[in-house]
Structure 1
Amino acid sequence: MTNPNNVDAGRLGILLNELRLPAIKLLWADFAEQADREGWPAARFLSAIAEHELAERDRRRIERHLSEARLPPGKTLDSFDFDAVPMISKAQIMAMTAGWQKAPTS
């Protein structure tokens, strides 16, 4: 006899592929096990895996944009030569980007 949990897990993998949710596909089993152990409500489990999916999408988006920008490694606003382009106001650019987080350095 086939274990219903194995059938559900296999079907879930296919569904997550179709829905294009790769982070959830990778993480759901571990989170489900933890949720079962700790007695999480369904909403907490769903929220946790959805947060990870969104974080992974943001990470991939930033990675894609950096790759498409073809900036030299280490290029930052701090290293930009504003004197070379006088029509760009350093004060205005710094004010616009004041709340931005700096990219983590490796």
Structure 2
Amino acid sequence: MRNFCRNMMIVFGFACLVGCQAYQGENILHLQSNDNSLTAAVNEALLNNQELAPFRFHVETVSGMVYLSGYVKTIRQSDTAEALAKKVPGVKSVENNIIVRK
């Protein structure tokens, strides 16, 4: 009887661990999907701005934090890109790594 109870506890514990891992996997997929949506929304905002449309930017999003990189001609353009990214709903913060190059 003791062996049976011990074995059942082991099986139950293992099942709980597997269930927790599956739930965590779903959360990671949801975060990745949300990050992809944010990246697309930021890219769209940058492309729709006439001042920034001629420039190419790299946008990466990790857990709601947006990383911008690329090249522009003025500080104002860099600031505009950052401001546009911050306005996108769901963006938690923006790290602006855009380089001003004349």
TM-score by length of structure 1 reads 0.31
Higher relative contact order (CA 8 A, sep 6+): 2
TM-score by length of structure 2 reads 0.32
